[in-house]
């Protein structure tokens, strides 16, 4: 073994604790990178493989009722390669032992003809027999949550008639990887997908020879927009609600947004980890090189050239980086598998395998190595330039002078401090750059904890705004068909109903110049209290808006999408009612824009929306405020009302959502807290150990002069305490900035999670850094207590 290599082994062993702490910081960076990107790859591959295998459609269209004779006309649209027509209906679902009415989406299929497109994957049991009455297949997740088995009986309201259905199988479908009726929240417990013989379903709704849903696959060379426009023209006379592409399909959109968020998370946070690792390596190597100034001079005097000496320190870095990369790869694989398992329970794929590509490991390792060597080269560049004779001379002593506070006339204040406290302040001022870097490193750790844990606060704020401030009602009813305004009085007489409000929603396409967007127009009653329009002001404060007479109220995201502002004119094409389609498009003024958290919403007065649709005072939904004591009786009555298609109880929907997100948030919070604690410990411990090495002679001298171990420890650990105290507010500020950056990068089209951070999160992040600092301080205190005074006080002549 070469002499320099033996020296390398000795240096690594003498600094083993510091080497391990730096390697762990690097491991956190590369582990987070590998975990996030491998999970991203796993999600992406699982989704794309499932879509290809199941032949997931490219274009979707919903229509009130259209004849199947349109099949040839739709298939003749240029670019269309395959068409499937079906009957789809939302109905009330009743499961034994569950008081609340649930919603089932009934999908008709032909049991004698295998599905060529949008294939459902049978997971257990069988498909209904041709001509069999009352046999259905249910989506697997709902069956698991509700404890349904093959042979279980459920009841539904089919066109007002209560029918018993027997479950003969369970299945998965690419259309509902993320099960929801169209909202942003997952709805495994209260929303079921049922497949039924299409002839039976059509007969129940007098839909023989008709369809309500069209699915299209298009040729690879064709774009969906031309096909969508042509399909809308074909379906326009039949009350189409507007065709849309795969990108707008609710389940696919949410899954795709989650995949994109994984990519962003895998880029932002690991970058912070690796920057901190490079910083620590820079500091450690810089001080290590300075501490070995005489050894470097001796090596130069013995004939070692600059390249050999630089190579020695690069090897030192390479060992640390290689150790960190090795630990990081193992950590990333373990963490990636855990994250994949969480998503496998959240999204419903037939197969969900963990995928780790070579490029992910290679890219993560390369970035970690580059960060490590970049910090090392910056550290050794200055010392290598020294000539041997210059390096053999001891470094110039530090410049001792009064504190800045003393020079500014604060000497009287300093007299109130003990000598030890003045020594701490003087050393911090002399070594201001080192102290600043230490503060920055600890602040970075605090910022990472905040950026990883603020989601709990942000999601809670989102729920409070959207489901409490904007929708203070307890129960939401959806009617099978629009009802007259007198239905409000009938609903108000139901058991336990304290207040009832009606609303009208109509699907519409909003056009502004060459831009358009398909959404719904919601009409609210004058003075509505159970359904409100709530947005945020410039300072983040909440404010309520009301529909503007004779004009539209647009959500800010939709206004930006259309490129319009208050006072501009847009064209509204209704997709329902008597006045439907582009022929009856109406020009309306944008009266105001409001910054809502969710939805691409258009609001009007309900009376004006009904007039726009060419209809009388009709409503499509009702919001209720309910006495909790009478809720069971109300739910039982609603199950018996054939005109009610859906019943949504806000409390149960939110409980399901909170249970799902709480588990995920707890996992990610624990991981990021551990990572941040590792960084904080790495920064604090390395800083303290290096200060101990640099000031060992000074501290030992004080011990000989009669200072106690505690007094000597305070001189060193007091500096660390001040650095941590200074890092806390800076880290909180950095954390808010990092959280805001992640929110802006993850900004979705249909919703926005604001960067809301509660004081408890700041306290939690600060406590993490302080705890890491205390543990590191105790380790250093142990070394101070066991200083070999004789060995330390020996001087080289």
Cβ neighbours, 10 Å, residue 770: 19
Distances in Å between the Cα of 703 and the Cα atoms of 252, 707, 777, 788, 789 are 69, 5, 19, 11, 8
**How is residue 469 annotated by DSSP?**
I
Cβ neighbours, 10 Å, residue 93: 27
Helices (H), 347-475: 358-384, 388-392, 404-407, 411-414, 419-430, 432-464
What local confidence, expressed as pLDDT, does residue 536 receive? Answer: 84
Domain boundaries, the chain: 55-253, 497-626
Distance CA 502, CA 431 (A): 69
For residue 155, what is the enclosing H or E element? strand 153-158
What local confidence, expressed as pLDDT, does residue 797 receive? Answer: 43
Q: What is the mean pLDDT of each run of 10 residues along the chain (797 residues)?
A: 79 80 80 84 88 92 90 91 91 83 87 82 88 87 89 86 90 86 67 90 89 90 80 84 84 82 73 68 64 72 78 83 89 87 79 84 81 69 63 61 62 66 75 79 83 82 85 87 86 90 89 87 90 82 88 92 92 71 76 88 92 88 90 84 80 75 69 74 73 73 76 78 90 89 71 84 88 81 73 57
- Residue 751's φ and ψ, nearest 5 degrees, are -155, 165
What local confidence, expressed as pLDDT, does residue 283 receive? Answer: 66
Helix, strand or coil for residue 515? strand
Helix, strand or coil for residue 398? coil
What local confidence, expressed as pLDDT, does residue 728 receive? Answer: 92
Q: Give the sheet arrangement for strand 59-67, strand by strand.
A: 80-86, 210-218, 59-67, 244-245
Tokens representing 341 are: 């398992």
Nearest to 193 by CA among 210, 213, 208, 217: 213
What local confidence, expressed as pLDDT, does residue 359 receive? Answer: 86
What local confidence, expressed as pLDDT, does residue 291 receive? Answer: 65
Which sign, positive or negative, has the C-alpha torsion 598, 585, 238, 220? Answer: negative
Note the pTM of the prediction, 2 decimals: 0.74
Nearest to 527 by CA among 541, 543, 550, 544: 544
Nearest to 132 by CA among 156, 163, 166, 159: 166
What local confidence, expressed as pLDDT, does residue 471 receive? Answer: 87
Tokens representing 314 are: 């690069």
What local confidence, expressed as pLDDT, does residue 253 receive? Answer: 84
Q: Could you tell me if 324 and 26 are in contact, meaning their C-beta atoms sit under 8 angstroms apart?
A: yes
503-524 burial string, b = 16+ CB within 10 Å, else e?
bbbbbbbbbbeeebbbbbbbbb
Q: Could you tell me if 140 and 146 are in contact, meaning their C-beta atoms sit under 8 angstroms apart?
A: no
């Amino acid at each position: 073994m070469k002499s320099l290599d033996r020296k390398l082994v000795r240096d690594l062993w003498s600094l083993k604790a510091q080497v391990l702490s730096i390697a762990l910081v690097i491991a956190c960076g590369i582990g987070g990178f590998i975990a996030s990107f491998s999970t991203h790859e796993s999600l992406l591959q699982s989704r794309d493989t499932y879509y290809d295998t199941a032949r997931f459609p490219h274009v979707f269209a919903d229509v009130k009722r259209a004849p199947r004779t349109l099949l040839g006309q739709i298939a003749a649209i240029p670019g269309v390669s395959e068409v499937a027509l079906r009957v789809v209906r939302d109905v009330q679902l009743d499961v034994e032992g569950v008081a609340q009415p649930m919603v089932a989406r009934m999908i008709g299929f032909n049991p004698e003809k295998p599905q060529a497109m949008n294939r459902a994957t049978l997971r257990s049991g069988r498909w209904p027999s041709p001509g069999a009455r009352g046999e259905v297949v249910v989506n697997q997740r709902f069956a698991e949550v509700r404890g349904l088995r093959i042979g279980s009986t459920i009841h539904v309201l089919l066109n007002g008639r209560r029918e018993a259905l027997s479950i003969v199988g369970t299945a998965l479908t690419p259309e509902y990887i993320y099960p929801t009726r169209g909202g942003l929240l997952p709805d495994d417990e209260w929303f079921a997908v049922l497949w039924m013989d299409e002839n039976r379903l059509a007969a129940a709704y007098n839909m023989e020879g008709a369809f309500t849903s069209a699915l299209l696959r298009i040729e690879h060379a064709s774009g969906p927009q031309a096909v969508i426009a042509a399909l809308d023209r074909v379906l326009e006379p039949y009350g189409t609600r507007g065709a849309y592409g795969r990108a707008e399909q609710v389940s696919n959109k949410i899954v795709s947004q989650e995949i994109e968020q994984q990519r962003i998370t895998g880029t932002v946070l690991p970058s912070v980890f690796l920057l901190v690792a490079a910083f620590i390596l820079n500091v450690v190597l810089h001080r290590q090189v300075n501490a070995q100034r005489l050894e470097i001079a001796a090596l130069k005097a013995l004939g070692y050239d600059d390249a050999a000496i630089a190579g020695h320190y690069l090897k030192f870095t390479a060992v640390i980086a290689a150790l960190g990369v090795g630990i990081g790869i193992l950590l990333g694989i373990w963490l990636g598998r855990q994250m994949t398992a969480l998503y496998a329970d959240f999204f419903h794929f037939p197969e969900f395998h963990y995928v780790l590509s070579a490029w992910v490991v290679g890219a993560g390792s390369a970035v970690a190595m580059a960060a490590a060597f970049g910090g090392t080269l910056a550290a050794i560049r200055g010392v290598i330039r020294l000539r041997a004779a210059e390096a053999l001379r001891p470094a110039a002593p530090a410049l001792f002078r009064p504190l800045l506070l003393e020079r500014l006339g604060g000497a009287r204040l300093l007299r109130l401090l003990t000598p030890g406290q003045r020594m701490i302040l003087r050393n911090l001022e002399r070594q201001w750059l080192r102290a600043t870097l230490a503060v920055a490193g600890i602040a970075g750790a605090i910022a990472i904890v905040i950026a990883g844990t603020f989601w709990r606060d942000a999601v809670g704020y989102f729920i409070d705004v959207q489901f409490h401030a904007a929708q203070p009602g307890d129960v939401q009813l959806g009617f099978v068909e629009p009802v007259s305004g007198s239905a409000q009085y009938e609903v108000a007489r139901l058991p336990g109903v304290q207040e009832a409000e009606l609303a009208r929603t109509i699907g519409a396409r909003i056009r502004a110049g060459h831009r358009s967007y398909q959404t719904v127009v919601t009409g609210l009653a004058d003075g509505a209290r159970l359904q409100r329009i709530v947005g945020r002001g410039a300072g983040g404060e909440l404010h309520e808006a009301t529909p503007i007479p004779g004009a539209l109220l647009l959500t800010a995201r939709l206004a930006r999408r259309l490129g319009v502002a208050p006072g501009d004119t847009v064209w509204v094409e209704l997709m329902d009612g008597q006045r439907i389609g582009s022929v009856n498009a109406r020009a309306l003024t944008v009266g105001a824009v409001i910054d809502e958290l969710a939805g691409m919403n258009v609001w009007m007065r309900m009376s004006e929306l009904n007039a726009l649709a060419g209809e009388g005072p009709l409503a499509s939904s009702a919001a209720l405020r309910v006495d909790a004591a009478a809720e069971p009786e109300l739910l039982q009555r609603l199950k018996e009302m054939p005109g009610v298609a859906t019943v949504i109880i806000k409390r149960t929907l939110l409980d399901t959502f909170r249970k799902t997100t709480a588990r995920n948030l707890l996992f990610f919070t624990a991981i990021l807290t551990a990572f941040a604690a590792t960084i904080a410990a790495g920064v604090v411990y390395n800083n303290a150990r290096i200060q101990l090495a640099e000031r060992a002679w000074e501290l030992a001298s004080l011990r000989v002069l009669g200072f106690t171990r505690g007094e000597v420890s305070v001189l060193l650990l007091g500096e660390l305490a001040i650095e941590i105290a200074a890092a806390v507010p800076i880290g909180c500020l950095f954390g808010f900035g990092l959280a805001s950056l992640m929110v802006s990068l993850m900004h979705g089209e249909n919703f926005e999670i604001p960067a809301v951070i509660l004081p408890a999160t700041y306290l939690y992040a600060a406590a993490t850094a302080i705890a890491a600092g205390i543990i590191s301080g105790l380790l250093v205190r142990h070394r101070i207590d066991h200083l070999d005074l004789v060995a330390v006080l020996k001087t080289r002549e």
